[in-house]
Amino acid sequence: MKKLFVAILAIGCLLAAPAAKAQTINQTCPNEISFGYGVSLIGSATNMIINNLGLVEQITDGEYIAIKSGGSKGVLNLNYIHHTSKVFGIGGNFGFNRMSVNMEDETGKLTAASVNMFSLMVDTKLNWFRNDMFGMYSKIGLGVMCLNGNLVEEMSGNLWLPTGHVSAIGMEVGRQFCGFLELGAGMKGIVQAGIKFHF
């Protein structure tokens, strides 16, 4: 009887070992924190659209007629996700983006202006695939952004607006420490890369 008990225990341990090894980092370390840099679309293409629609003249009541040059240097993102299961995670994202522009008036004179953009979003993450060292996922974030600017009197101070982001494809390489790359659209930038730590 004692030998049978030992044999059953040994078989149980052998069967449990592969299952334990099969656990992903999202299960053994359900929390992740990441720091990333995103390439923003706010630049010459956006300026061209704004100028063609005459938005600057409307917003500033004719004081300025166009954005001559300028854009964003990129978006800094700090993200936290808690994996509630192997597939699903939820958390939050804080982002910062600074846009610098030159505003042109009717005489051709340029005036430098800047806008700081802060965003706070609730993020959800869907893990498509994860093995020991590689994972693929998608993310959706919804929240608010605060525009803090000194463009003209009508656009000075804080302006709160809804915002969001979709990362259609995300890839991470590594286990506890990861490098990641995300492709998407919204406040975090069209391409975002950075590092993650699972704990």
Domain assignments of the chain as residue spans, ordered by start: 25-198
Q: Is the pTM of this model over 0.85?
A: no
pLDDT, tens only, 45-84: 566 666 666 666 766 767 777 777 667 788 999 999 999 9
- What is the dotted CATH code of the domain comprising 25-198? 2.40.160.20
What string of DSSP letters covers the chain? -HHHHHHHHHHHHHHHHHHHHH--HHHHS-EEEEEEEEE-STTHHHHHHHHHTTHHHHHTTTS--EEEEEEEEEEEEEEEEEESSSSEEEEEEEEEEEEEEEEE-TT--EEEEEEEEEEEEEEEEEEEEE-SSEEEEEEEEEEEEEEEEESSGGGEEEEEEEEEEEEEEEEEEESSEEEEEEEEEETT-SEEEEEEEE-
**What is the pLDDT, as a whole number, of residue 107?**
83
pLDDT, tens only, 87-144: 999 999 999 988 777 777 888 888 777 778 899 999 999 999 988 899 999 999 999 9
